[in-house]
């Protein structure tokens, strides 16, 4: 399978190339040249398989000949062997036809582990085969960084630099990154917000000399491998649900549009998804875009679901490519307008397609707290604030059969949960020492050149 850039001016790559590269040389994002489509029979046949078997079945379609089957199988097995739920992404039916899909049973308690564990192993295989080392740069709104630190801490072919927005991640999130003592990992606290961190990452990739020199790779959801691995759990959710005749809707707490784009990918492959519902906090650029057809950046406002405090939803560019008739010229035009004027307008046709497939709603800080309390009192389930944003959206659609993605464990956000229910969620045993370990963190200005200099010095 070949991959092309959404902006049409980068060379085609196979999966191995895309995994190593992250962002395309023309600033675009890689997508498959054509999407593999599955028949209803093929999809239904997955029902009898385990999570790992389904993962193999789906991922193989995208990786082609990059990994021998036995290697891919082994990597998938190893990636998920330390998850604390045997089904990896269990589905909890809290009311008839209403489910929560728990994606937080990995080592750092958020859904980011599901892709990161596998990507680290895939990268290690390729780097070892080529006998080269790689520098990985990763912007985090809180959870990607922790997942990357865990996944890469014993990967000796990789040097990992994590950029986090100073003061905008929770203590537990930060400590999961800063308390891991591995020589190949540096945590940089950037004086800015997540969008600033992500812009630095894009800037580093777009400096082709620098990027070549340090052999730069990226593990943000701009890397196709993330999307590919995450689309698996949409299939496993469907395989768990017994009544296949009820069209399912997924509610996805959304920031960078990676997780929900993975749902769009599953739908494009034939999974019978009715609507993909975007749930955002007060940083509601995607909701505004669905309502008005105008994608317009405003200031990032800190909220109590910090992993979604994002205005530039990078993966939206992948959807835009499809909505605008797979025309890279139109994508380039939109992206130029976005960087020049901070906004662009979808064509009429693109906007109506968007509204047909997606829906969106937003929760503010108080509604998020109220939802955590409601779910605790009514179902005796403690959810994290990001999941609460999704759950709050489901409450606004009482008659819809839905799967709400639970993207993080509540123990990652103890203060917010306490504020909502007057009770702290317990940290799983593995993390009991988190608050007594010393931290390693470097404060850096919001300046791409300074980050480049630092990376070179290391
Ligand atoms: C990353 C993250 C999100 C947002 O996911 P995107 O793929 O960026 O849209 C939502 N919730 C949590 C807990 C996250 O860590």
pTM of the model: 0.96
3-state secondary structure of 34: coil
Query: Where in the sequence numbering do the catalytic residues fall?
Result: 112
Q: Identify the CATH class of 1-124+223-425.
A: alpha beta
d(CA 296, CA 293): 9
d(CA 299, CA 49): 45
Paired strand residues for 162 = 138, 187
Domain ranges of the chain: 1-124+223-425
d(CA 168, CA 174): 9
d(CA 224, CA 338): 22
Q: What is the pLDDT of residue 167?
A: 93
Tokens 């196979």 belong to 14
Tokens 């014993």 belong to 154
Q: What is the pLDDT along the chain (458 residues), one digit of tens a residue?
A: 999 999 999 999 999 999 999 899 999 999 999 999 999 999 999 999 999 999 999 999 999 999 999 999 999 999 999 999 999 999 999 999 999 999 999 999 999 999 999 999 999 999 999 999 999 999 999 999 999 999 999 999 999 999 999 999 999 999 999 999 999 999 999 999 999 999 999 999 999 999 999 999 999 989 999 999 999 999 999 999 988 888 899 999 999 999 999 999 999 999 999 999 999 999 999 999 999 999 999 999 999 999 999 988 999 999 999 999 999 999 999 999 999 999 999 999 999 999 999 999 999 999 999 999 999 999 999 999 999 999 999 999 999 999 999 999 999 999 999 999 999 999 999 999 999 999 999 999 999 999 999 999 99
Cα separation values, 233 from 141, 228, 237, 272, 276, Å: 22, 10, 6, 14, 14
For a mutational test of ligand 1's pocket, the pick from 101, 111, 146, i.e. the residue with the most ligand atoms closer than 8 A to its C-beta, is 111
Closest residue to atom 2 of ligand 1, CA basis? 307
d(CA 146, CA 105): 14
Q: What is the pLDDT of residue 275?
A: 98
Structure tokens at 59: 């991922």
Q: What is the pLDDT of residue 128?
A: 97
For a mutational test of ligand 1's pocket, the pick from 106, 229, 259, 416, i.e. the residue with the most ligand atoms closer than 8 A to its C-beta, is 259
Output the CA 259–ligand 1 centroid distance in Å: 7
Tally of CB atoms within 10 A around 311: 19
Closest residue to atom 14 of ligand 1, CA basis? 307
d(CA 175, CA 131): 33
d(CA 149, CA 154): 9
Output the CA 407–ligand 1 centroid distance in Å: 7
Closest residue to atom 15 of ligand 1, CA basis? 143
Q: For the CA atoms of the chain, what is the radius of gyration?
A: 20
Which residues form ligand 1's pocket by a CB distance below 6 Å?
Answer: 110, 112, 141-143, 221, 253-259, 307-308, 386, 407-408
For a mutational test of ligand 1's pocket, the pick from 308, 316, 360, 390, i.e. the residue with the most ligand atoms closer than 8 A to its C-beta, is 308
């Amino acid at each position: 399978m070949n991959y092309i850039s959404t902006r049409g001016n980068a060379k085609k790559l196979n999966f191995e190339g895309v995994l190593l590269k992250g962002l395309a040389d023309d600033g675009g994002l890689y997508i498959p040249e054509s999407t593999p489509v599955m028949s209803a029979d093929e999809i239904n046949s997955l029902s009898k398989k385990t999570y790992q078997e389904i993962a193999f079945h789906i991922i193989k379609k995208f990786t082609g000949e990059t990994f021998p089957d036995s290697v891919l199988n082994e990597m998938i097995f190893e990636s998920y062997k330390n998850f604390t739920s045997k089904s990896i992404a269990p589905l909890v039916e809290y009311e008839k036809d209403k489910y929560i899909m728990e994606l937080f049973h990995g080592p750092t308690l958020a859904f980011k582990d599901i892709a990161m564990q596998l990507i680290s192993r895939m990268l290690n295989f390729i780097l070892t085969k080529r006998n080269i080392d790689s520098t990985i740069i990763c912007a985090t709104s809180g959870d990607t960084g922790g997942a990357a630190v865990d996944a890469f801490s014993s990967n000796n072919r990789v040097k990992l630099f994590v950029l986090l927005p100073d003061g905008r991640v929770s203590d537990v999130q930060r400590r999961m990154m800063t308390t891991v003592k591995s020589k190949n990992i540096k945590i940089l606290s950037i004086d800015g917000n997540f969008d600033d961190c992500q812009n630095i990452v894009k800037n580093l990739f777009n400096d082709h000399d620098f990027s070549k020199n340090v052999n730069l790779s990226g593990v943000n959801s701009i890397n196709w491998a993330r999307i590919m691995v995450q689309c698996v759990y949409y299939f496993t959710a469907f395989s768990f649900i017994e009544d296949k005749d009820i069209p399912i809707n997924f509610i996805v707490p959304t920031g960078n549009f990676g997780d929900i784009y993975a749902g769009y990918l599953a739908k494009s492959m034939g999974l019978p998804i009715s609507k993909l519902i975007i749930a955002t906090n007060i940083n509601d650029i995607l909701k505004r875009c669905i309502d008005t057809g105008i994608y317009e950046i405003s200031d990032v406002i800190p909220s109590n679901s910090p992993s979604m405090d994002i205005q530039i939803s990078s993966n939206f560019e992948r959807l835009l490519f499809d909505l605008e008739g797979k025309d890279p010229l139109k994508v380039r035009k939109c992206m130029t307008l976005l960087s020049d004027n901070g906004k662009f307008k979808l064509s009429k046709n693109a906007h109506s397609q968007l509204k047909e497939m997606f829906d969106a709603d937003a929760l503010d800080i108080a509604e998020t707290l109220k939802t955590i309390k409601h779910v605790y009192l009514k179902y005796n389930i403690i959810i994290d604030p990001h999941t609460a944003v999704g759950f709050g959206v489901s409450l606004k659609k009482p008659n819809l059969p839905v799967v709400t993605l639970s993207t993080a464990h509540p123990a990652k956000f103890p203060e917010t949960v306490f504020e909502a229910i007057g009770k702290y969620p317990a940290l799983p045993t593995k993390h009991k020492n988190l608050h007594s370990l010393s931290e390693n963190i470097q404060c850096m200005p919001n300046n791409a050149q300074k980050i480049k200099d630092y990376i070179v010095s290391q």
